Structure 1
Amino acid sequence: MDIRQLKYFIEIAETESLSQAARNLFVTQPTLSLALKKIESDLNTKLFSHTEKPFQLTATGEVLYQKGQTVVELFDGLVQEIHTMELTTQKETIRLGLTTLFSIQFMDQLAEFIIKNPNVELNIRQEGSAKLQRLLVDNTIDIALLSFPNHETDKVAIEPLETTTKGYTVYVVVPEKNPLSKKDALTFSDLKDQTFASLTKDFMIGTMLTERARAHGYEPNITMYHNDLQVLLYSLLKSNAICLLPIEYKSMIDIKGLKWIPLKDKYSHYSIGIGLRKDHVCSKAMNDLIAMIKKN
């Protein structure tokens, strides 16, 4: 006897009719008849009496009916609990956007979050901070670790980070054969006649180069745009161009023949923060991720 057959028996007992039970269970009468015979054979007893009217429970049938209802309820409850557990253990997906620099600087915190949250799938997308703000607006990502300023103030809120990593500082990367390499510090006025290789405007520095050069009265001569750090740096050696990059990159990829010189400008430092859409409601897992990032 299995749970399905037990359910058949209970339905027959309650309806006192094989045909009605078959309709209620959406099965054929022969199916119910065979199931009933199988149960009676397994238990070696008659479950129904037909002397006065059809399908009256015998003494053993009454016991099976009463106890069987409890068994069916427990079984159905168990199945429901398992289904509920399956739903609650399905992985939540968090779409995190951050720059290449921040992915390295906050790798310990991200790795710890992944280890402690096996039911969360962290999808990481690396882009420049300007593009990350647009991705938040478009609902392409849920949360971003990015730098100020906020260009999407109507829809995006950025909470400043008070961690050991508070931001990054822009330096000028110059080939040693370039006369500027002799300088201890540089201003945008010093860069007027230079050729630039630059990050695109997906990055704050890409926008900053054009805006600050124009503020100093010239249009920067940008001969190449690229968002790959190594491509940019190695191109400088071939072209004698210069580029603006966070000094924090230097410890990650220090190429011989290049000098990193401080840029003296009021916009040479960028603070960073956690960006969210203003209408976004954070799940517990997202709040845990934010808390983990703040441990940096």
Structure 2
Amino acid sequence: MDIRHLEYFVEVARHKSFSKAAQITYVSQSTISKMIKDLENELGVALFNRNSKYVQLTDAGEILFSQAQHIVSLFQNITTEFESMAKLEKGKVSIGLPPITGATAFAELLGQFRQKYPNIDIVLFEYGSKKVELGIQDGSLDIGVICCPSNNENYEVIEFTQDPLWVIMHPSHPLSQYPEVDFALLADEAFVLYRKDFSLHDAIVDRCRLAGFQPKIIFETSQRELMTQIVAANLGIALLPSKICEQLDPKTIVSVPLADPQLFLQMSIIWNKRRYLSHAARLWLNFVRDHLAQIETHSLMQAADSGGNKA
């Protein structure tokens, strides 16, 4: 017995007609008859007296009817309440992101989302990318914003932004006058690096090895301000995304692009496709997709305008 058996039984009992019940439930009369017959066989009693003129409940049918109406009503109310809840623009979304990225674009996106959905709470957790991935895996985070996502088939991924890393150094550093710096020239430098729970830590170390040296790491941190202060004190160099470098005071810190092959900060939004995602979290992801689509459309229009002006 399932809820459909009871729903069909209730409609037949209410309208005293198999054909009318079939019309209301949008199934064939033979389907209604079979479901009622299955119900009678399961219960071991006849539920209706049938003849060519009318359909009437038996005593057993009367007992079942009083209970079935209540059960069907409860089931329909549950379905309605869930559908209503799904339409409500409220809830909570937990997002993990690395604190050192200085993702201004992401912060602006959060602000726009909050304006559109004021009843959805965004709870942020500052973790390195590796810890964010662990949170996505164990379900403690709904969504992660990470650098250099690992190749994990359990993730859904939206690429958010890509920003080249630049070298930052004291203005008196010999390399500060270069238009760009080859990685091999950093072999003897003291590195202020991201902590090991940041994916960028591994990416920078691997890039140094590709250039033929093991970096000399004097300090590891998750705090961008501390990183820049150490560089400003002329104790070492560091690598930061270009958008952050553009905000630094050139009187205390000089930033120089890296020569090809460049190293990029690839920010991606990830979530676990094998875990339940709340309605609020789905609203957030749809908002991000729409936002990125608008940016892409705007960029294409600008490129087209630029091409037309040149022509």
Normalised by the size of structure 2, how large is the TM-score? 0.60
| C-alpha displacement of 1:91 | 5.5
Distance 1:244 1:158 in 2: 25
User: Is this contact kept in 1: 2:193–2:220, CA < 8 A?
Assistant: yes
Q: 1:160 to 1:95 in 2, by over 3 A?
A: same
- 1:289 match: 284
Distance 1:255 1:133 in 2: 35
Q: 1:114 to 1:234 in 2, by over 3 A?
A: same
- 2:191 match: 196
Gaps of 5+ in 1: 1-76
- 2:97 match: 98
- Based on CA coordinates, which of the two structures has the bigger radius of gyration? 1
Distance 1:259 1:280 in 2: 45
1:281 match: secondary structure = coil
2:186 match: secondary structure = coil
1:245 and 2:244 are equivalent in the alignment:
no
Q: Count how many residue pairs are aligned between Structure 1 and Structure 2.
A: 210
List per-residue Cα deviations over 1:130-184 (Å, max 9, x = no partner).
3322221232211122233x325143232324xxxx3111000011111111211
Q: Which has the higher helix share?
A: 2
Distance 1:252 1:181 in 2: 17
What aligned pairs does 1:1-296 form with structure 2 within 5 A after superposition? 88=85, 92-100=91-99, 101=101, 103-148=103-148, 150-151=149-150, 153-161=152-160, 166-254=161-249, 256-294=251-289, 295-296=291-292
2:185 match: secondary structure = coil
2:157 match: secondary structure = strand
Normalised by the size of structure 1, how large is the TM-score? 0.63
List per-residue Cα deviations over 1:191-250 (Å, max 9, x = no partner).
001111111122232112211212222211110111111110111122431001111112
CA RMSD in angstroms comes to 2.8
Distance 1:237 1:147 in 2: 25
1:272 match: secondary structure = strand
| AA partner of residue 158 (structure 1) | V
List per-residue Cα deviations over 1:20-66 (Å, max 9, x = no partner).
xxxxxxxxxxxxxxxxxxxxxxxxxxxxxxxxxxxxxxxxxxxxxxx
User: Is this contact kept in 2: 1:94–1:120, CA < 8 A?
Assistant: yes
Distance 1:107 1:261 in 2: 26
Distance 2:241 2:202 in 1: 14
Per mean C-alpha deviation after superposition, the further-off stretch among 229-238 and 131-140 is 131-140
Q: 1:259 to 1:238 in 2, by over 3 A?
A: same
User: Is this contact kept in 2: 1:200–1:207, CA < 8 A?
Assistant: no
Q: 1:222 to 1:285 in 2, by over 3 A?
A: same
Distance 2:287 2:251 in 1: 36
Distance 2:136 2:283 in 1: 19
Q: Percent identity among equivalent residues?
A: 21
Distance 1:227 1:107 in 2: 18
Distance 1:91 1:283 in 2: 10
User: Is this contact kept in 2: 1:178–1:240, CA < 8 A?
Assistant: no
